[in-house]
Amino acid sequence: MGALLEIRGLHAWYGASQVLHGVDLRVDAGEVLALAGRNGSGRSTLAKAVMGMVRTQGHVRFAGQMLAGRRTFEIARLGIGYVPEHRDVFPTLTVRENLALGFAPRGALRCVSRLSRAPRFTLDDAYARFPILRERATARAGVLSGGEQQMLALARALLGDPDLLIVDEPTEGLAAQMSALLGDCLSTLRERGVAVLLIEQRLVLARRLADRVAVMGHGAIVFDGSLDAFAKRDDVVRDWLGVG
């Protein structure tokens, strides 16, 4: 399959502070790519750059369309779901209201490939995958536990019917049982043909799900290869992930 997301020479800034320094990366259709790196390496900034949330310079193309100059909601409607590290649910809205915000409005701009198929995910899918969301449908999102908020953020992103899901540290701070449940959901995405850019520091999920691993350091890609190739690169693990 060809590249679904193609990034070349991408630079990004927060104000006057430059964080990304010429990132080159691709995510193929239906692929799970794990993006690893220490805190501060630029992984989350890369996700925000793709979503049009920071000032950038360079080339970002998704499903054949350039993303430069598009607003975040327009990028999402093209088929990119985004679950940020801090979840960003709407705390004063109910679970049901948060989920309703995930649906793209009728007549929204969509890629041609998305116009020719039925949606991959429905509200019933979300409730079947995460039954607690049905049980707590009328509760305000702000009273949910961290794991429940993560499930809500992920389910909301899926209801937008993405071709690519960018998910930032989905299991950070969660109990093992909750982490396993989220891993099962990401595995289902792969089965349904959704590409995933999985930002993860510890690579626990990556070893289970990923087709490929990329490592960031100092705002650039310092390794990009298969899981097998990554397993042989002790130098990459030592120098860029801080693991002995």
C-alpha distances out from residue 218 to 19, 22, 101, 175, Å: 8, 11, 35, 30
Contact in structure between 167 and 173 (CB atoms under 8 Å)? no
Q: What is the pLDDT of residue 93?
A: 97
- Separation of CA 143 from chain center: 24
d(CA 87, CA 4): 24
User: Over the range 1-23, which residues count as b (16 or more CB within 10 Å of their CB) and which as e?
Assistant: eebbbbbeebbbeeeeeebbeeb
pLDDT of residue 106: 54
Q: Mention every residue, 6+ apart, whose C-beta is less than 8 A from residue 106.
A: none
d(CA 133, CA 223) in angstroms, rounded, equals 38
> What pLDDT, on a 0 to 100 scale, did the predictor assign at position 87?
79
Tell me how far apart the alpha carbons of residues 10 and 3 are, in angstroms, rounded to a whole number.
16
Question: pLDDT value at position 145?
Answer: 92
Query: Exposed, middle or buried: residue 128 (CB in 10 Å: 0-12, 13-18, 19+)?
Result: exposed
pLDDT of residue 121: 84
Rounded to the nearest 5 degrees, what angle is found at the Cα of 182, between the Cα atoms of 187 and 84?
A: 105
CATH 3.40.50.300 for the 3-241 domain, yes or no: yes
Q: Do 193 and 199 contact (CB within 8 A), yes or no?
A: no
The tokens describing 205, both together, are 């999920």
Quote the pTM value.
0.91
Residue by residue, pLDDT tens for the chain (244 residues) are 579 999 999 999 999 999 999 999 999 999 999 999 999 999 999 999 999 999 999 999 999 999 998 999 999 999 999 999 887 899 999 999 999 999 866 555 455 555 556 677 889 988 998 999 999 999 999 999 999 999 999 999 999 999 999 999 988 888 888 888 888 888 888 888 899 999 998 788 888 899 999 999 999 999 999 999 999 999 999 999 975 4
Token pair of 113 as six digits: 């490939």
Whether 71 contacts 114, CB under 8 Å = no
Domain boundaries defined on the chain: 3-241
Token pair, residue 36, equals 């690893």
Cα separation values, 159 from 85, 119, 170, 223, Å: 19, 9, 17, 33
The predicted pLDDT at position 54 comes to 97
- Cα 38 off chain centre by: 17
Given a contact cutoff of 8 angstroms between Cβ atoms, the answer to whether 30 and 1 are in contact is yes
Cβ 150 vs Cβ 137: under 8 Å: no
